[in-house]
Amino acid sequence: MNHFNYGKYSDNQLIKLAQSGDVKAKGRLFEKYEGFIVNESYKLSENCRTDFKDTFGNLSYLFLCAVDNFNFKGKFNGYVKYYLSLKVRDDIGKRKARMPHVPKGEPFYIRNFNEIIISDEDLEDY
């Protein structure tokens, strides 16, 4: 495949490249789905009274995890919507069950299994 024009590739082709370590392919996927991530972040920040930037960073991290975990069963756009909503619901449920290390005053929390701090500088790489 020609690695110079990622715009012509399908989601599945980009995911295969991304899973093999191609950062630019992962970046192209992120650009393609960034509007969706922004909309979901906005909804969550409004509904759960969280900081938009924090929510966007967390959902961006979860999106990149979804790219790494996609197994090519079904379409990626359906998978990523399902993946993000399940992770968020799971974490909200665990917060209601009083997760350790989360202050009681926090209304919402998304896990970051690898304990990676997501910042604007990190997202510029994608």
pLDDT above 90 coverage of the chain, percent: 30
User: Is 10 within the bounds of a domain?
Assistant: no
Average pLDDT over residues 67-80: 90
pLDDT score of 105 more than 80: no
pLDDT-derived band at 118 (thresholds 50, 70, 90) equals: very low
Query: 70 lies in a domain?
Result: yes
Q: Is residue 89 part of a domain?
A: yes
Residue 121 or residue 77, greater confidence: 77
- Domain membership of residue 2 (yes or no) is no
Instruction: For residue 82, give its domain range.
Output: 23-124
Q: What is the pLDDT of residue 122?
A: 47
Residue 119: pLDDT band with limits 50, 70, 90: very low
pLDDT digits 0-9 by tens, 19-60: 999 999 999 999 999 999 999 989 888 877 777 888 888 888
6 within domain boundaries: no
Residue 26 Cα distances to 11, 18, 32, angstroms: 10, 5, 10
Helix runs in 49-125, H state only: 52-69, 76-96, 120-124
* 109 located within any domain: yes
Of 50, 42, 87, the closest CA to residue 66 belongs to 87
pLDDT of residue 106: 56
Domain count, the chain: 1
Looking at the domain assignment, is residue 7 inside a domain?
no
Let me know if residue 83 belongs to a domain.
Answer: yes
φ, ψ for residue 89, nearest 5 deg: -60, -40
